[in-house]
Amino acid sequence: MQDVFCTGGPDEKLRLGFSLASGRRVWVTGFFFEATYDSLLLGRPDEDLNRHIVEETPVKARELFRETPYLIKPDLRQDPKGAKWLPPIRYIANLMSTPVDQRMHGSVLVVAWFGQPIFDRPLGEGIPEALVAVPWEQHCRDFEF
């Protein structure tokens, strides 16, 4: 985060920034996505597979960003044959903001969620739409450089 360290704030040209519903400004410093059922080669998902995918998501987030994520609970949809499906894409974003405790230098929160593809429009629209209601103060971690 050289731009933050050198200037005291994220360079708006280098970072995707947006405001949460609370008014807090956050910046995306890392982003990961994959198809939810990439490992499903045959058949339909079942309750065990869905549970495994959701429970494995924090593990994946820690591998990527070394933080325990705030997981937005996914909604399942049921197909006509009774199978319950998670949304098709798993997203994980590393977010940064100003600190909650003003003695610190910043705050960070990794957020994981499942959703529809957002790639038919700019990421600067899809990510904020999905994360606008994130309760930052309850889940973030303040840090020092």
Q: pLDDT tens-digit profile of 39-72?
A: 887 878 899 999 999 999 999 999 999 999 999 9
Task: Give a yes or no: residue 58 inside a domain.
Answer: yes
Collect all residues with Cβ–Cβ distance below 8 Å to 130 and sequence separation of at least 6: 72, 91, 113, 115, 118
Amino acid at 30: G
Domain count, the chain: 1
Question: Mind listing the pLDDT tens digit for each residue in 97-119?
Answer: 999 999 999 999 999 999 999 98
Domain that holds residue 31: 2-7+17-143
Task: Give a yes or no: residue 12 inside a domain.
Answer: no
Q: How many residues does the chain have?
A: 145
